[in-house]
Structure 1
Amino acid sequence: MRFSSSTAALALAAGALGTPAAADLTAQEVWNDMRSYLSSFGYEVTATDSMSGDTLSVRDMTMRLPLPEDGGTVALELPEISFTENEDGTVSVAYPETSEMRVEARPPDAEAVDMTLAVMHRDLEVLVSGDDSQMTYDYTASELGLSLAELVVEGESLDSDKVSVDVTASGMAGQSVVTPGELRDLEQRVTVAEVSYDVNTPAMEGERGSAAFDGALRALTFEGTARIPQDMDMQDMSAAFAAGYAFDGQIGYTGGNTDFTFEEDGQTVTGSTSSDRSHFRAAMDADRLTYAGSGAGTQINVEGSDLPFPIEAAIGETAFDFSAPVGTTEDPEPFNLLVELRDFTMGEQIWAMFDPGQMLPREPASIVMDIAGMARVLGDVFDPQAMQRMAMNEDVPAELHALDLSQFLVSMLGAELTGQGAFTFDNSDRATFDGMPRPEGTLSLRLEGAEALLDTLMQMGLLPQEQAMGARMMMGMFAVPAGPDTLESTIEINEQGQVLANGQRIQ
């Protein structure tokens, strides 16, 4: 996984899992490994180094990285790094307390931007142990900081009172194990007590106003592994993954909050968000992609001069999980998708806009969909040209072979719809269902509380009687009674492509 240049500069001598090894390690070996690591990600590294006694000094170091599509460069400049050989065979790495990162953005169809960021640390200690076959990096810092020193847009410098960016990480500790080779293996763990941020920006061009954000994330953790080929081109992801590039990382925190303010033409919007916990995972290699995340205890509050009342909302739990094959496959491979939102609530003032009489139930709303299946990928999704050729030829990039809905839930306003089902797909038959592979399988649905909800909506005047009658007729066509205000339906598609609802053919 790729980290920001500033993080790489301050904690580049990544940390390690395990304890220092007994073998001796030289300062030159550590510097060579660091330089090789940066080069593998496409950084152009320039520096002068000299050995004096047990210390290797690397001066005037610049790490330069071109932005995609000739859009400029990012350069991190460090006046000096020292590598000191210790008596126990380890090497201590010392970074300057302050350094600069320069960004020259030259996007083809946007404004030219020149930005200088100040990078700082307090009490950063880096210790490297092991040997040239495996290096263990341990590091700690009481504080790491990043702040905007200068911003120039189309040649015009913006005053610091108009735009500012300050990010501070405190109480950081990390460990990594690096195994050099044709494929560099990296294992890493990092903990941070707190990350705080304070951002102020002017409005977009042609507008008057400003935006401000400040907040913090607490008890952050990161764990990850990566395989990094030599001389990797991050702008050609197809080639990078073909060469063996892979990563699997997850980050989380146990509490966070943000306060924000928007001002424009005399109008102001302020608000805050907070959450009890959050977790995110991303993993990818030449064969598979995975994204997953979850959160709990989310609170949202917004108020403004144009809003008639404050907006309040809360979400008990959220989750998503997506995994799918991405490399060309000979046979179908599994995929899955989970989307979950539980216990969503709104403030009473929002309810009062359309239900002042409190006729609708105020119980929390939930939506859940959990599906899995089998699919065959027919092209390299990391190759934009290949995907474009397939689109021009009207070729499908993948074939769906099976789909399993293990859970479906929509619960709100006193009604609840649940379902589950499974289908297979015949990709040799795209005529029966007009271009899509012919499905075969069964879907079961159960609906509770719908009649009471329709009655309430009519009484409130939100649903005309003829529309409510139409909804009831549709439910009667596709469902059968299964208890008081409860309907069930079984939708089946058979081998002949016939669609049946509760045994009655409808197509």
Structure 2
Amino acid sequence: MTARFARGFGAAFVYVLATQAAHADLTAADVWADWQDYLASTGYAVSGNEAASGGTLTISNLTIDMPLADAQGRFAITMDRLAFAENGDGTVDIAMPDSIPMTFTTVDETGDPVDGVLTLAQNDSAMTASGEPGDVTYAYSSALAAMELTSLEIDNEPMPQDMLSVLVSLENINTNTRMLTGEMRSYSQRMTADALRYDINFDDPDTDDMGRFKGAMQDVQAEGTGTVPLEMDPNDFNASLENGFAADVTLAYGAGMSDIQGVGDGESFAFASTSQGGSFGFKMDADRLAYDVEQKQSAISLQGGDLPVPVEISAAVSGFNLSMPVRKSDEDQDFAIGLNLGDFTMSEMLWSMIDPAAQLPRDPATVVLDAVGKGKMLFNLLDPEEAAMMERATTPPAEISALTINKLLVSLVGASLSGTGDFTFDNSDTSTMDGFPRPTGYVDLTLVGANALLDKLSGMGLVADEEAMGARMMMGLLAVPGDTPDTLNSKIEINQQGHILANGQRIQ
């Protein structure tokens, strides 16, 4: 449901995003026609009464609606009045109501009807269109733009307001987008806001279950580009991708925080987090899906539930990135995956449970992985029918043909493992490696501080003496001493015959 609302809201109000600059005169009728064309192309039905007077085109009793997937309901936006006023300089001001209701109807998992109203409230807002037909730019600003759940009925029974409340707001928002219409509709956009805040609460009247979710991000900035087909079915997203839908969006923010408290199954819990900034990147088209997420100076605390003690952890940087193909292909395509957890620490209370005598170093931990490769999908991942087939299939959904490890680093409790590697895989040979495609390549590894760590773990009783001896024998088999004390180097190779070699010596 959330994804449908987001898509619907974006389709209806993408025009509030804009760039500056005008190239030729626009009329009020031009802008209104562009709105209608866009909304119709994304699956909305548009109705309203038009009246023109003195360079102003007014649409009264405006309704913009569309059916939800599988005919399970509808989503509709209504405005008493929408006005397009020509300024005499080739630009057009667009006046919307300060309050815009968005109604939705659907059914829940038991088949009971669900009806609700989301209300968009705007304070001190302004929007101006400029450019020329087919190349329109929009500038929008508002002191406050807030979305609130203002009504909810289940099985025709109004729900108490304290049962579920949702409020999301942007403060001092400015957006700019240029819309170009040709064989496709393309856009480029920028947005800034002083703050984004959310406040969500629920309280189950039949149980003790409840939750409070609050959070904020400061100094929000977003940039994006994309293309939208001139005709698309909002309930067939895969078809839209095949017809050219694409998006490339980056969101960055300054300080952030979240606070969650609740009760579930009779157990209370609490979660809080802070950060000094972060970013989120997202790319999607018919061929590829990519994410890139990062937070700086983040701290998290957890307590309650099944946790025996409060948990407090922090990291100077934490990030994750993934880029992967999503379309079935006979040709190899690139993929990438990365993880970055820098200067990770946890509270002394947690350390005392693991190491009460403080024998292990409390140095911040770091985990880094940077890997790229080539492979191909055997299914169209974003096609719902093929995704369902993939879940039932007994064969892997993808084949990997190459993997390069640009960087591997695991550093914690006084020891570190680092390395690089490069492998290719023969998917036609799954017998050499017992069902796994036969690899060929190498990995170079350096292990520092392992013997000292084994001594500490053995002294703490966490590792038995015979286990420590076995670990040292294995390191002696796979590695050679480095140039500095307690350093081991190892080059593990797999050759064309499937033999495994450690530092030139065959071990399998």
Q: Which range, TM-score by smaller chain?
A: over 0.9
The DSSP-based 3-state class of the residue aligned with 1:353 is helix
Cα distance between partner residues in 2 of 1:370 and 1:306 = 34
CA offset at residue 393 of structure 1? Answer: 6.7
**Distance verdict in 2 for CA 1:304–1:399, change over 3 Å:** closer
The DSSP-based 3-state class of the residue aligned with 2:97 is coil
CA offset at residue 185 of structure 1? Answer: 0.9
Q: Tell whether 2:113 aligns with 1:131.
A: no
CA offset at residue 39 of structure 1? Answer: 2.5
The DSSP-based 3-state class of the residue aligned with 2:430 is coil
CA offset at residue 499 of structure 1? Answer: 1.3
Q: Which stretch shifts more, 481-490 or 385-394?
A: 385-394
Give the aligned residue type for 2:488: L
1:350-389 alignment runs, 5 A limit? 350-388=350-388
Cα distance between partner residues in 2 of 1:20 and 1:328 = 43
Cα distance between partner residues in 2 of 1:97 and 1:91 = 19
1:218-297 alignment runs, 5 A limit? 218-263=218-263, 268-297=268-297
Partner of 1:177: 178
Q: Please tell me whether the aligned partners of residues 20 and 138 of structure 2 are also in contact (alpha carbons under 8 angstroms).
A: no
Cα distance between partner residues in 2 of 1:27 and 1:481 = 78
**Distance verdict in 2 for CA 1:378–1:49, change over 3 Å:** same
**Distance verdict in 2 for CA 1:194–1:389, change over 3 Å:** closer
Cα distance between partner residues in 2 of 1:44 and 1:499 = 64
CA offset at residue 85 of structure 1? Answer: 1.4
Q: Which stretch shifts more, 12-21 or 26-35?
A: 12-21
CA offset at residue 360 of structure 1? Answer: 1.1
Give the aligned residue type for 1:485: D
Q: Which stretch shifts more, 302-311 or 160-169?
A: 302-311
Cα distance between partner residues in 2 of 1:462 and 1:398 = 40
Cα distance between partner residues in 1 of 2:163 and 2:398 = 49
Q: Please tell me whether the aligned partners of residues 20 and 139 of structure 2 are also in contact (alpha carbons under 8 angstroms).
A: no
Partner of 1:15: 17
Give the aligned residue type for 2:192: T
Give the aligned residue type for 2:439: P
Once the two structures are superposed, residues 362-412 of structure 1 have per-residue CA deviations (whole angstroms, 9 ceiling, x without a partner) of 111111111111223344333233455567675554332211011111111
Cα distance between partner residues in 1 of 2:451 and 2:89 = 78
Once the two structures are superposed, residues 63-102 of structure 1 have per-residue CA deviations (whole angstroms, 9 ceiling, x without a partner) of 2233334443322222221111121121110000112112
The DSSP-based 3-state class of the residue aligned with 1:13 is helix
Q: Which stretch shifts more, 482-491 or 152-161?
A: 152-161
The DSSP-based 3-state class of the residue aligned with 2:436 is coil
Partner of 1:189: 190
Q: Please tell me whether the aligned partners of residues 64 and 76 of structure 1 are also in contact (alpha carbons under 8 angstroms).
A: yes
CA offset at residue 233 of structure 1? Answer: 1.8
Q: Which stretch shifts more, 78-87 or 234-243?
A: 234-243
The DSSP-based 3-state class of the residue aligned with 1:279 is strand
Q: Please tell me whether the aligned partners of residues 192 and 219 of structure 2 are also in contact (alpha carbons under 8 angstroms).
A: yes
CA offset at residue 47 of structure 1? Answer: 2.3
Q: Please tell me whether the aligned partners of residues 90 and 129 of structure 1 are also in contact (alpha carbons under 8 angstroms).
A: yes
CA offset at residue 4 of structure 1? Answer: 5.1
Partner of 1:88: 89
CA offset at residue 107 of structure 1? Answer: 4.5
What percent identity do the matched residue pairs reach?
39
**Distance verdict in 2 for CA 1:164–1:396, change over 3 Å:** closer
Give the aligned residue type for 2:490: S
Give the aligned residue type for 2:19: L
**Distance verdict in 2 for CA 1:65–1:453, change over 3 Å:** farther
Q: Please tell me whether the aligned partners of residues 200 and 211 of structure 1 are also in contact (alpha carbons under 8 angstroms).
A: yes
Partner of 2:53: 52
1:53-452 alignment runs, 5 A limit? 53-108=54-109, 112-203=113-204, 207-263=207-263, 268-304=268-304, 309-388=309-388, 396-452=396-452
**Distance verdict in 2 for CA 1:55–1:311, change over 3 Å:** same
Once the two structures are superposed, residues 426-475 of structure 1 have per-residue CA deviations (whole angstroms, 9 ceiling, x without a partner) of 23323322333221111111111122222212222222323323322332
**Distance verdict in 2 for CA 1:256–1:360, change over 3 Å:** same
Q: Which stretch shifts more, 51-60 or 359-368?
A: 51-60
Cα distance between partner residues in 2 of 1:387 and 1:116 = 33
Instruction: Name the TM-score, length of structure 1 as normaliser.
Output: 0.92
Cα distance between partner residues in 1 of 2:69 and 2:256 = 32
Q: Please tell me whether the aligned partners of residues 20 and 130 of structure 2 are also in contact (alpha carbons under 8 angstroms).
A: no
- Superposition CA RMSD, Å: 2.5
Cα distance between partner residues in 1 of 2:59 and 2:8 = 18
Tell me, which stretches of 5 or more residues in structure 2 are unaligned?
none
Number of residue pairs aligned between Structure 1 and Structure 2: 504
**Distance verdict in 2 for CA 1:365–1:179, change over 3 Å:** same
Cα distance between partner residues in 1 of 2:377 and 2:201 = 45
CA offset at residue 130 of structure 1? Answer: 1.1
Q: Which stretch shifts more, 157-166 or 114-123?
A: 157-166
Cα distance between partner residues in 2 of 1:17 and 1:33 = 16
Cα distance between partner residues in 2 of 1:140 and 1:24 = 22
Once the two structures are superposed, residues 311-364 of structure 1 have per-residue CA deviations (whole angstroms, 9 ceiling, x without a partner) of 321111012222223334443222211111111111111111222211111111
Cα distance between partner residues in 1 of 2:496 and 2:33 = 64
Give the aligned residue type for 2:240: A
Tell me, which stretches of 5 or more residues in structure 1 are unaligned?
none
Once the two structures are superposed, residues 152-201 of structure 1 have per-residue CA deviations (whole angstroms, 9 ceiling, x without a partner) of 23444322233322222111111111112330011111111111222211
Cα distance between partner residues in 2 of 1:425 and 1:286 = 26
Cα distance between partner residues in 2 of 1:106 and 1:182 = 37
